[in-house]
């Protein structure tokens, strides 16, 4: 590029023509440079997550230990909180409202305790997930790692908490006449499927919560409504007797109800298969696979936007 000077001479500019030399994109490609924070492919993202598996486990254990570090009873609150909730629900729904319709007291009390503990697992996973990114912005902005590590870690934390709490579930079941049996082995696949389902939900709300932090204030109301329609305090099949078959089935295939009822079926002798919807294991597998896979892809698509803005 050139121009004429005041004395009639010609001066040449130092600015090169766009056609001169390689472009920035070409140079970046030639030297293997990539956009900072760019989203990796889905396969590469999974590989990176697997490489951070020790961090995910250690982070979940550290969060679990720190959760009640300021309380005098410490980790006992992991059991005491849902157990106290079960006591309150029993007084209100079992004694005052007689929601134990169709179930004996020997069945209803472990039925209620199991429902509260299992639903709390899902509820806590979602509440932890919704703050997974927005509540850890310092970590997200300071270090480079697959962001899905955080909601997965929080779901793993809640699983560990449930495993600790299951000691109480076993004691209550045995105390009311449900001795250990082969059906208790079904607890393992139920927990695996529910963990996958919970993790998928945690990934979904983590992305939504990263963009809209106020979602954390709204979520308790959504979860409370879900709890009251999931049969935590009452048997859906008993309570809905005489109602539309379609309405009963819709309530029974609710994923929260599916995992609670499968756990009750495995744990409680008096809670038979008649309380479960048809093809219940297929339904449980469907919810776990679809929600986990969909949640993972949904979260991954916004990977490069977390912690920015």
In a domain, 11, yes or no: no
Give the mean pLDDT of 254-277.
Answer: 93
Q: Are 153 and 63 in contact (CB under 8 A)?
A: yes
In a domain, 260, yes or no: yes
More confident residue, 5 or 254: 254
More confident residue, 143 or 58: 58
Cβ-Cβ contacts under 8 Å for 189 (sequence gap 6 or more): none
Mean pLDDT over all residues of the chain? 86
Residue percentage of the chain with pLDDT more than 90: 51
In a domain, 4, yes or no: no
In a domain, 24, yes or no: no
How far out from the chain centre does Cα 44 lie? 22
Q: Which of 56-65, 82-91, 254-263 has the lowest mean pLDDT?
A: 82-91
Number of structural domains found in the chain: 1
The most confident of the ranges 63-72, 214-223, 228-237 is 214-223
User: Which H helix or E strand runs over 3?
Assistant: strand 2-4
Q: Are 169 and 69 in contact (CB under 8 A)?
A: no
Q: Which pLDDT value is given to residue 74?
A: 64
Does residue 14 surpass a pLDDT of 70? Answer: no
Give the mean pLDDT of 177-186.
Answer: 91
- How many other β-carbons are positioned within 10 Å of the β-carbon of residue 54? 8
Q: Which of 80-84, 88-92, 258-262, 270-274 has the lowest mean pLDDT?
A: 80-84
Give the mean pLDDT of 140-163.
Answer: 92
Give the mean pLDDT of 205-213.
Answer: 93
Q: Which of 61, 125, 62 is nearest to 295 (CA)?
A: 125
Q: Which of 205, 261, 275, 203 is nearest to 232 (CA)?
A: 261
Does residue 258 surpass a pLDDT of 50? Answer: yes
d(C-alpha 213, C-alpha 153), whole Å: 19
In a domain, 8, yes or no: no
In a domain, 15, yes or no: no
Cβ-Cβ contacts under 8 Å for 309 (sequence gap 6 or more): none
Q: Which segments of 179-279 does DSSP mark as H helices, in order?
A: 187-211, 215-228, 236-239, 245-252, 255-267
d(C-alpha 195, C-alpha 164), whole Å: 15
Does residue 290 surpass a pLDDT of 60? Answer: yes
In a domain, 72, yes or no: yes
Q: Are 35 and 290 in contact (CB under 8 A)?
A: no
In a domain, 22, yes or no: no
Give the mean pLDDT of 148-164.
Answer: 93
Give the confidence band of 12 by pLDDT, cuts at 50, 70, 90: very low
Domain range for 124 is: 41-305
Give the mean pLDDT of 145-164.
Answer: 93
Q: Which pLDDT value is given to residue 182?
A: 92
pLDDT tens digits, one per residue of 131-141? 999 999 888 88
Q: Which pLDDT value is given to residue 13?
A: 46
């Amino acid at each position: 590029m050139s121009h004429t000077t005041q004395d009639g001479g010609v001066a040449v500019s130092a600015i090169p023509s766009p056609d001169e030399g390689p472009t920035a994109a070409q140079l970046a490609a030639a030297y293997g440079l990539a956009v900072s924070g760019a989203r990796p492919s889905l396969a590469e993202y999974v590989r990176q997550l697997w490489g951070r598996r020790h961090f995910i486990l250690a982070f979940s254990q550290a969060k679990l230990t720190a959760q009640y570090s300021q309380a005098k009873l410490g980790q006992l609150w992991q059991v005491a909180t849902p157990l106290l909730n079960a006591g309150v629900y029993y007084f209100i729904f079992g004694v005052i409202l007689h929601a134990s319709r169709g179930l004996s007291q020997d069945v209803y009390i472990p039925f209620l305790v199991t429902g509260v503990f299992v639903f709390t697992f899902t509820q806590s996973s979602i509440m932890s997930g919704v703050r997974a990114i927005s509540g850890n912005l310092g970590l997200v902005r300071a270090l480079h790692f697959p962001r899905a590590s955080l909601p997965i870690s929080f779901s793993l934390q809640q699983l560990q908490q449930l495993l600790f709490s299951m000691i109480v579930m076993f004691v209550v079941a045995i105390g009311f006449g449900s001795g250990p049996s082969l059906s208790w082995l079904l607890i393992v696949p139920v927990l695996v499927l529910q963990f996958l389902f919970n993790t998928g939900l945690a990934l979904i709300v983590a992305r939504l919560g990263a963009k809209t932090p106020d979602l954390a204030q709204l979520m308790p109301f959504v979860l409370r409504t879900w709890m009251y329609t999931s049969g935590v305090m009452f048997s859906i099949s008993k309570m809905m007797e005489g109602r539309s078959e379609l309405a009963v089935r819709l309530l029974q295939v609710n994923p929260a109800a599916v995992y609670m009822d499968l756990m009750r079926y495995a744990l409680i002798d008096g809670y038979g298969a008649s309380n479960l919807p048809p093809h219940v294991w297929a339904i449980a597998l469907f919810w776990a696979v679809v929600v986990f896979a969909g949640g993972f892809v949904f979260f991954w698509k916004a990977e490069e936007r977390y912690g920015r803005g």
